[in-house]
Amino acid sequence: MLGYGELNGIARTVAAQSGEAGLFDDIVQEAWVRFIQWPPRHRQGAWMMAFQAKNEVIYRERQEVSAGMLYPTESARMGALERIWDGRRDRRWPWLVRYALSARHSGADRIRAMRYRAELRAAH
């Protein structure tokens, strides 16, 4: 079993080598969560766990950033929903509503249309 100092050194080294200074503490913390859940018996296992933690934290952060770029603020999200709602006068909107309500169609567009409808109901 590896000691606290060695595990901490591995976690901090991987976090420092990640090139993500803002995520240093998150990477170390995620590595420690893994070390506590599944104590590594060997150094190689500890390094692998730390690298997996680093990759997961960076991936999660990129997912949050890309989702945030879609609607950076709540007012921007509501503005987009209002534009979609106002777009119902457009000739494409009745097709989208029929597509969303049709039982024989399914898929991402149908789900998206139903979500927009639910969000607009909640907003108004």
Q: Are residues 81 and 111 in the same domain?
A: yes
Q: What is the mean pLDDT of residues 24-28?
A: 92
Query: Which residue among 53, 70, 87 closes a domain?
Result: 70
pTM for the predicted model, two decimal places: 0.53
The 10s digit of each residue's pLDDT in 40-89 is 999 999 999 999 999 999 888 877 655 555 555 666 666 666 666 565 55
Number of domains in the chain: 2
Is the pLDDT reported for residue 90 higher than 60? no
Q: What percent of the chain has pLDDT over 70?
A: 56
Residue 60 has a pLDDT of 83
Instruction: Please give the residue that has the higher pLDDT: either 108 or 17.
Output: 17
Q: Are residues 53 and 81 in the same domain?
A: no
Residue 1 has a pLDDT of 74
Are 99 and 111 within 8 A, CB to CB? no
Residue 102 has a pLDDT of 58
DSSP string, the chain: ---HHHHHHHHHHHHHHTS-GGGHHHHHHHHHHHHHHS--SSHHHHHHHHHHHHHHHHHHHHHHHHHHHHSSSHHHHHHHHHHHHHGGGSTHHHHHHHHHH-SS--SHHHHHHHHHHHHHHHH-
Q: Are residues 61 and 101 in the same domain?
A: no
Q: Are residues 60 and 91 in the same domain?
A: no
Helix axes 108-123, 92-101, angle to 10 degrees: 100
Residue 100 has a pLDDT of 54
Residue 42 has a pLDDT of 92
Residue 77 has a pLDDT of 62
Q: What is the mean pLDDT of residues 82-107?
A: 57
Domain span at 14:
4-70
Are 54 and 31 within 8 A, CB to CB? yes
Q: Are residues 64 and 82 in the same domain?
A: no
